[in-house]
Structure 1
Amino acid sequence: MARNWTAQQKRAIELHNKNILVSAAAGSGKTAVLVERIIRMITDPDNHVDIERLVVVTFTNAAAAQMRERIGAALESMIEENPSDRNLQRQLAMIHMAQITTIDSFCLNILRNNYMNLDIDPGFRIADQGELELIKADVMGELLEKYYAGGNEDFYALINSYSGKKSDKAIEDLINKIYNYARSYPWPHEWLQSCIDTGSASTVDEFNESLPAQYLFDYVTKYIQGSREKFRRLLDICKDVAGPDMYIDNILSDLEGMDMLLNTENISQWMETAARIQFTDLSRKRGSGVDPDMKELVRNSRTKYRDSFRKIRDRLCSMSVEEYLRELSANGAPLRMLITLASEYMDAVDAAKKEKNIIDFNDIEHMACSLLVKHEKGTDEYTQLADDLASYYGEILIDEYQDSNMLQEMILTAVSRGRLDSSRNNLFMVGDVKQSIYKFRLARPELFLDKYVKYPDADGCEVIELRNNFRSRSQVLYSVNSVFEKIMHRECGGIEYTEDVRLNPGLEFAQRTDSGMMDNRTSIRLADLNIQYDEDDVNTPRECEG
């Protein structure tokens, strides 16, 4: 029986020749939409795309296996109805060769087919985690021992500032964190050099031109751009017949401040402008015929923005740029030494792995990237291999896009058709930034947020919202919304939990009247796991229920 798709689900299934970002809330049927889109592409009687010409990137091997299984089951069902359809039979036969896989496996496939273009022995193997940890521990010990014996004053200053009295674990952890973070970028040594350049900046212009300062400016600019769009909608609400028109002047004043920030050209200008931004007190006029819900929405949204902006401003503007430069000058030598240690550590670990002819998963991605993109003197040029793959693949579909990083972004962009012909964009990205939980694995949810802000105004791009939840009762969704609209904001979660991202009920469930659910109120239990208690003492409070 044909499924009844919502209008937005239908658009996500049928729209082509665009780069599409699907913001899919929990329980919105994103996997079903993804599978249906693939099925329709490979079974289109007039213009089908063979399944081996699709790249479907999932976050885990289990998700890839489930996706392959669902596509296979759908094809088998269609073959039962049309047993003589040769295309259906071909797609089913080729499903095991399809690139429905994790990003690591996709990159490994590129690597194995093109290893002759790399400085690598074809008999390489992927190291297990325990082996890697032993190598890294040995390299770290040798590196620090070399510097202890070398008499480097900057090294001793770094150790005195950051290392413990009994061990070097603190400094080792710092080096490893920088090492891991750098490797989430396509060109890790270039990123490390940018950090050294920042620590060496002696003028405002040098500070503004450093990569970290540019990344920071990019972040705050996107934050203001997203906020401005929301405030334009708040202004429309205020101008509604039943809207709180007494707040119009406040919102206009806020928008004027945002425009001032968006007109800045670098982080130092942004900081100077932000320091001058003032928020007017909301009007106390009651207003006649004003919808109380509209009034509360505008008031709460404005308060959230004001508070979050002040937090960002307080962090950035606690010192002037000139004071930052003086701090950098005072602490520049230890910073440069720390980055130098991380860079040497990276080279030594790579050399140790090469000697054993082993690689790790991050190496696979970096090697694949080097096969697709030629990087020289700060500029990128796509290789012939990248052009060939971009021409070959009909579509690149990425699940859980909010958990991608910079390196993976460059790889998948390199094999996308849109960079060769923007009228035939073919990136399809599905995710939910509210569910990004892998920042500890160096996921970059800002990649999702950047497209979420820019795509609505970009040619050949579109954002599709799947907001309806088909999994839970409205009472559950109401409770979830009530909690997260209070605790999730841009500084904690990367996004403001506004009306645009709330969970909306997509199904009407039958009302239960059994003893297990006499009413539809949601029960929330909070347990304090930090409380130490005697198991025999049943009166020790450790849970609260509401």
Structure 2
Amino acid sequence: MPHTDQQLAAIKTPGNILVIAGAGTGKTSTLVERCLYLIREGCAVDELLMVTFTEAAAAEMRHRLRTALAEEIVKSVGEDEERAKHFEEQLALMDHAQVSTLHSFCLELIRRHFHLLGLDPQIRVLDETQTRPIMYDVMEEVMVRHYDSSGRDAVRELVRRSGSPSDDQVRTLVMKLYRYQQARANPSGWLNEQRNRFSSSEPVEWREWLDSEIRNWADEWLPFLNAQQGNANAERAADALEQLPKSSITREHILEMTAKIRSADSGWPNRKKTLFRKPIADLFAEASFWNSICAIEKDGLDPLSVDWANVRTDTLTLLELLEEFGDEYRRVKREMGGIDFSDLEQLALELLLDEDNDVAVACRDHFEHVFVDEYQDINAAQDAIIAAVTRPTGDEREGNGFLVGDIKQSIYRFRLAEPELFRSHAQNCSRSSMEGTVLPLSENFRSHEAILSAVNDCFTTITADTGIDYGANEALSVGAREERSQYLIESDPDDLCRVEYRCLTEPEHKVIREGPFDESEEEDDLDRDAREARWIAQRLMRIRREETAIINRQTSENECVEWRDMVVLMRSPGPRIETYAREFHRMGVPLQAKRPGFFDALEVMDQVNLLRILDNPRQDIPLLAVLRSPIGGFTVDELAEIRHTKRRILFWELLGEFHRNHSEEKEPILQSAWRKVDAFLTQFNEWRELVRHASLSYTLEVVIEGSHYERLLEGGIRSSEKRANLDKLLDLTRQFDPYQRQGLHRFLQFVDAQLEKGKDLDSAPPATANAVRLMSIHQSKGMEFPMVVLAGTGTEFNLRDLYEQVLFDERLGLCPKINDPNNETRYPSLPFWVAQRREKKLLLEEEMRLLYVAMTRARNYLIMTGSRRRTAPKLLKALTEKNAMGSPYKAGSMQDWITDWLWKLSAAEMEAGAGRNGFFRWEIGEPDWEQSSESGEDSPQSREVSKTDLEHIQRMLEWQYDWKDATREIAKTNVSELRGRAREAAEESVQQFGRSPFVAQPKQPDCSDRLTASEIGNAHHAFLELMELIPGQTALDLKNAAMQFRDLGLLEDRQIQALDFGRLARFWYTDVGQWVVAHHKNVHRELPFTTRFTRAELADLGIMLDGRAGDDDFIVVQGVVDLAVILDDEIRILDHKTDHFSRKSLKFKVADYAPQLQLYASALERIYRRKVTHAWLHFMTIGKTVDVISD
């Protein structure tokens, strides 16, 4: 297909270019074609810098460019040999081309110039799951340092005034503020700016902002007030705003204006006050705020000065704490030999902006052209990096930046993306050609014209008066109309609707239906999600039954839609996946969805909720969740009866009262409830006592075993998957064992942080089976589907971030709430109030962009659904009376925008609750259920269970083996299991003294698909087993050897990426390493053994066993020694460890691993009948070797 005029302009226009590429406009192919155009003009591939933000996108770009070069070679051979040779050379250079993520480019820059930064050239990049526990540890050290200080401490005062019973709020705020600071182009400069601002004795800047912000506020309200037709009160309020001066607004002006607005909030027409006041109610509340900060108090004090005095000291303390945390965190990372992703950006900037070196000049000279994809998702630090390596237009050489993006598809603000940077750059280029050229791509090659028309019409309506431009340059049109005529509306029959909207309302009456739903249900008992899921399944079933046609992308021919062609998109599907799976199954519609995140899995939630109440039982939600789970085993009726005995107290207190006062109950349900409460409280108290002294992982093992939870899973579906989740949870808790008393609290902090940042960004489920796919809008970014169902549009927006104690604003900086010292209340400061309103707009603009991304994924059909809590008559009456929503910033859900669009599209049909506009139809009302004849399974049949059967089952469940204690001891085990026993024994022996010195330092929690700490250790052991023991090997030698092992199929790429060749090489230059190399002929690697030990012998090694077996009974132990040097008169053992920990924790690590090596030594002495003289532990992270026998 030939390029369009817009694409040709983007391919050939010289200089700095900003391409605004709408959805489906072929931006990636245009970017690759521009690369080919430049290569044809003589540019070399290794002179191009192409960066994007994900590994997948970088791999796709690299693949497309490589393929395009190969195609150019094929075309040129036989016709232009010189041209063919040129492209062959470029293809050969592809391995050296800088086509990568921005972080990969930064890492390459850092490793190339490590000496300028004083870094190890083999420094490792730590991901978030590795750095988060380190941040917690550093935060703990910083806070403890302040708590241990004598005298009055500002940090202690800050915590006291935070209003929280713990310092969690302050800790979380510091770490959140640190991440925000590190995304700035100049973090230290930003910190100094904030410190200087709050060092002033008077709120000078606040007073300066007063004039501009009141003017901005008035300008925002005036258009809305003037649009309130027939509302005299709104007109009076508008007059008050119009009388404000255009500049130099004084306190008196503001007080006069607020008085007039208060006056306008009276004299409402009879029976119309709610109708007229509700749309402008926020105006009166906001006017009261302006009055409160301008009215001089009775004692003559200025409210702004009072607020400043209340907030200034705490904010300066917070900034000092931030600086202290940042310094300590950087020190710990350097000690570990690691850096995080923000370090990659900041260290690259340090190199590029340092005037004492020529790194930036070298980059600008080397890279003839710089390409940036997805530029709308950039942050300030990343933008500064791009600017440093790109030649400006005014340079003596031509500008060389090619930035591609679309602000309408920027949906990653939670990753600190700043779409305002894209908008600012576009505005600068539009104002001056010296900044560059803006080129639009608006011809869409994905979607049917009906869908594009719906998108254009919807967004023209809802983006009016917002920060999102949707004009002629942004509106999408069908690309290549002649070649793609089947995508035009005129090609469709008149009765075909390609866009639907269905708003499902609450039922007016209870209707009991039976049939396709496996069981009788009261329809209004269905929750909103279930009702919507069922309607979607029914609609898709009908579409499939009717053999609806879609257009094949490759052949352009019509074909019948398959399940795999359909996708359901949602804002946050995680909590709803199980509901959709159940309802789709009932309707016989196959559904493929990635299961909820690890912490959303029911079996994990049960255990985490239990840990939450072990930490603090005075939490109703997790407590009730545990009681309803298999751990508690309570029924809903039993919990309701317990609550009925006393209301308005915490459920934890209620359990105690119920247990004390209702032991003699005669009513069966209360008897059953009391027995369960008695059993639960007894067991809970044992567990809570245990968690105070034992390790977190051991406590959780006891809980799972004691509650028979794992056995209960065996009777359900996906039991193996659920057991694997429990094992993974146990692995995670083991990483927090070293914190001993604070392990539980820190683990829960880690879980909360994972849940907070969990944006459902895992890879989307592939179309591997013929099933409907369910995924999030974020997962669908960059994808397209023949039929899209956008579900859950009625879900309310999450605005929780607006109510934090401190907001961060690009212009205003830190914006804290005021802590009133007199009555311990909090209220917004002037900058907080301004930042909160601005942040709300930015959040809602991101939700608009999510709606745009979702709608533009569809190729052939688009169906949008949502649910309302009202019945249809009440909802339609409200929609008819409101005369459209007004400001799009007043929306509470995507559904509000859609219904506002509908009102403007067909207001006359709104009262009827249904309408059609050509290719688009919509309906608001109750779901219209139909019988399903294609359900995959029959309804389950229940049968009555006899009393005899129940008694037999009860006896079987209660039966216990008389020698149960003896069965707990194993007859055969491995060294790792016994090492765990040694650790538990050590913990128990020092319970009364607090933290055990024998508990391992934490591994890095990993909830991702990356290599786990265990897998990284296995990778090192695999390489150490394979490598040849030759003196003088460098890190490069070892890396080349690893590549050879990979080519032989002995190592995987991801294992090689995890290997630390620098530290591996350094070990073999130590005394121990050189001794081993010198005796390489006597080296035995991965040496297996099997031997027997009595209980007494294991006890001598610090390994205590449970059970009733006698001391003379033995256990068979199997193990594998990493490396043993077996000489005629002695044996020496070496074991490498890859754990991450600080040097001060070395003695704990040695104590943790010593029983393992002592067991190795004892086993080899028995087998080979010679003395083990040395047993070395080498810790690669800190480069330290310890002999657990001789030292």
Where does 1:79-90 land on structure 2 (aligned, <5 Å)? 79-83=73-77, 84=81, 85=83, 86-90=85-89
Question: 2:30 is matched with which residue?
Answer: 33
With normalisation by structure 2, the TM-score equals 0.35
SS in 2 for 1:344: helix
Q: Note if 1:501 corresponds to 2:474.
A: yes
Contact preservation (8 Å) 2:346, 2:381: yes
Deviation readout 1:77-98 (Å, 9 max, x if unpaired): 1111212231111111111211
* Cα distance in 1, alignment partners of residues 66 and 357 from structure 2: 34
* Cα distance in 2, alignment partners of residues 196 and 453 from structure 1: 32
Contact preservation (8 Å) 2:452, 2:476: yes
User: Relative to structure 1, is the Cα distance of residues 193 and 503 closer, same or farther in structure 2, using a 3 angstrom cutoff?
Assistant: same
Taking only aligned residues, the RMSD between alpha carbons, in angstroms, comes to 4.2
* Cα distance in 2, alignment partners of residues 503 and 275 from structure 1: 48
Question: 1:156 is matched with which residue?
Answer: 156
Q: Note if 1:520 corresponds to 2:520.
A: no
Question: 2:445 is matched with which residue?
Answer: 470
Residue 314 of structure 1, CA deviation = 7.7
Amino acid corresponding to residue 311 of structure 2 in structure 1: N
Decide which of 44, 59, 62 is 1:65's aligned counterpart. 59
Amino acid corresponding to residue 36 of structure 2 in structure 1: I
Question: 1:452 is matched with which residue?
Answer: 426
Residue 37 of structure 1, CA deviation = 0.5
Question: 1:56 is matched with which residue?
Answer: 50
* Cα distance in 2, alignment partners of residues 39 and 98 from structure 1: 14
User: Relative to structure 1, is the Cα distance of residues 324 and 11 closer, same or farther in structure 2, using a 3 angstrom cutoff?
Assistant: farther
Q: Note if 1:77 corresponds to 2:71.
A: yes
SS in 2 for 1:447: helix
Question: 1:479 is matched with which residue?
Answer: 454
* Cα distance in 2, alignment partners of residues 65 and 208 from structure 1: 52
* Cα distance in 2, alignment partners of residues 420 and 514 from structure 1: 50
Question: 2:315 is matched with which residue?
Answer: 335
Residue 475 of structure 1, CA deviation = 1.7
SS in 2 for 1:428: strand
Stretch moving more, 471-480 or 146-155: 146-155
Residue 59 of structure 1, CA deviation = 1.4
Question: 1:8 is matched with which residue?
Answer: 6
Question: 2:365 is matched with which residue?
Answer: 391
Contact preservation (8 Å) 2:447, 2:487: no
With normalisation by structure 1, the TM-score equals 0.73
Amino acid corresponding to residue 474 of structure 2 in structure 1: V
User: Relative to structure 1, is the Cα distance of residues 406 and 317 closer, same or farther in structure 2, using a 3 angstrom cutoff?
Assistant: farther
Residue 115 of structure 1, CA deviation = 0.5
Residue 387 of structure 1, CA deviation = 0.9
User: Relative to structure 1, is the Cα distance of residues 34 and 203 closer, same or farther in structure 2, using a 3 angstrom cutoff?
Assistant: same
Residue 426 of structure 1, CA deviation = 1.2
User: Relative to structure 1, is the Cα distance of residues 330 and 116 closer, same or farther in structure 2, using a 3 angstrom cutoff?
Assistant: same
Residue 32 of structure 1, CA deviation = 1.3
User: Relative to structure 1, is the Cα distance of residues 341 and 316 closer, same or farther in structure 2, using a 3 angstrom cutoff?
Assistant: farther
Contact preservation (8 Å) 1:394, 1:426: yes
Deviation readout 1:92-147 (Å, 9 max, x if unpaired): 11112111111100011111111111121223212243331221111111112222
* Larger CA Rg, structure 1 vs 2: 2
Residue 382 of structure 1, CA deviation = 7.8
Question: 1:200 is matched with which residue?
Answer: 199
* Cα distance in 1, alignment partners of residues 381 and 255 from structure 2: 35
Contact preservation (8 Å) 1:21, 1:428: yes
Where does 1:116-265 land on structure 2 (aligned, <5 Å)? 116-150=115-149, 151-152=151-152, 154-162=154-162, 164-165=164-165, 167-203=166-202
Question: 1:344 is matched with which residue?
Answer: 324
Residue 524 of structure 1, CA deviation = 3.0
Stretch moving more, 477-486 or 351-360: 477-486
User: Relative to structure 1, is the Cα distance of residues 510 and 392 closer, same or farther in structure 2, using a 3 angstrom cutoff?
Assistant: closer
User: Relative to structure 1, is the Cα distance of residues 457 and 176 closer, same or farther in structure 2, using a 3 angstrom cutoff?
Assistant: same
* Cα distance in 2, alignment partners of residues 393 and 442 from structure 1: 28
Contact preservation (8 Å) 1:200, 1:328: no
Question: 1:362 is matched with which residue?
Answer: 342
Residue 152 of structure 1, CA deviation = 4.0
* Cα distance in 2, alignment partners of residues 516 and 173 from structure 1: 58
Residue 482 of structure 1, CA deviation = 3.9
* Cα distance in 1, alignment partners of residues 103 and 72 from structure 2: 32
Residue 271 of structure 1, CA deviation = 11
SS in 2 for 1:28: coil
Contact preservation (8 Å) 1:67, 1:100: yes
* Cα distance in 2, alignment partners of residues 510 and 417 from structure 1: 42
* Cα distance in 2, alignment partners of residues 359 and 415 from structure 1: 22
* Cα distance in 1, alignment partners of residues 432 and 251 from structure 2: 28
* Cα distance in 2, alignment partners of residues 344 and 177 from structure 1: 14
Whose relative contact order is higher, 1 or 2, with alpha carbons under 8 Å and at least 6 apart? 1
Residue 522 of structure 1, CA deviation = 0.7
Q: Note if 1:21 corresponds to 2:18.
A: yes
Residue 497 of structure 1, CA deviation = 3.8
Contact preservation (8 Å) 1:399, 1:430: yes
Structure with the largest fraction of helix: 1
* Cα distance in 1, alignment partners of residues 444 and 427 from structure 2: 23
* Cα distance in 1, alignment partners of residues 14 and 490 from structure 2: 46
Q: Note if 1:43 corresponds to 2:37.
A: no
* Cα distance in 2, alignment partners of residues 15 and 520 from structure 1: 40
Deviation readout 1:385-444 (Å, 9 max, x if unpaired): 111211221111110001111111111111112277166111111101111111111111
Deviation readout 1:336-366 (Å, 9 max, x if unpaired): 1112211111111101111111111211221
Residue 158 of structure 1, CA deviation = 2.3
Residue 521 of structure 1, CA deviation = 3.8
Contact preservation (8 Å) 2:456, 2:476: yes
Deviation readout 1:191-217 (Å, 9 max, x if unpaired): 1222222223345655689xxx7xx98
* Cα distance in 2, alignment partners of residues 270 and 371 from structure 1: 47
* Equivalent residue pairs, number: 454
Residue 168 of structure 1, CA deviation = 2.6
Contact preservation (8 Å) 2:125, 2:341: yes
User: Relative to structure 1, is the Cα distance of residues 9 and 217 closer, same or farther in structure 2, using a 3 angstrom cutoff?
Assistant: farther
Question: 2:564 is matched with which residue?
Answer: none
Contact preservation (8 Å) 1:199, 1:329: no
Residue 509 of structure 1, CA deviation = 2.9
User: Relative to structure 1, is the Cα distance of residues 420 and 373 closer, same or farther in structure 2, using a 3 angstrom cutoff?
Assistant: farther
User: Relative to structure 1, is the Cα distance of residues 315 and 359 closer, same or farther in structure 2, using a 3 angstrom cutoff?
Assistant: farther
Q: Note if 1:411 corresponds to 2:385.
A: yes
SS in 1 for 2:392: helix
User: Relative to structure 1, is the Cα distance of residues 514 and 429 closer, same or farther in structure 2, using a 3 angstrom cutoff?
Assistant: closer
SS in 1 for 2:403: strand
* Cα distance in 2, alignment partners of residues 180 and 522 from structure 1: 42
* Cα distance in 2, alignment partners of residues 127 and 22 from structure 1: 34
Residue 57 of structure 1, CA deviation = 0.8
Contact preservation (8 Å) 1:382, 1:414: no
* Cα distance in 2, alignment partners of residues 434 and 160 from structure 1: 44
Deviation readout 1:432-482 (Å, 9 max, x if unpaired): 111111111111111101011111122331111112222111221232334
User: Relative to structure 1, is the Cα distance of residues 395 and 511 closer, same or farther in structure 2, using a 3 angstrom cutoff?
Assistant: closer
Contact preservation (8 Å) 1:201, 1:207: no
Contact preservation (8 Å) 1:271, 1:317: no
Stretch moving more, 315-324 or 421-430: 315-324
Q: Note if 1:440 corresponds to 2:429.
A: no
* Cα distance in 2, alignment partners of residues 400 and 273 from structure 1: 46
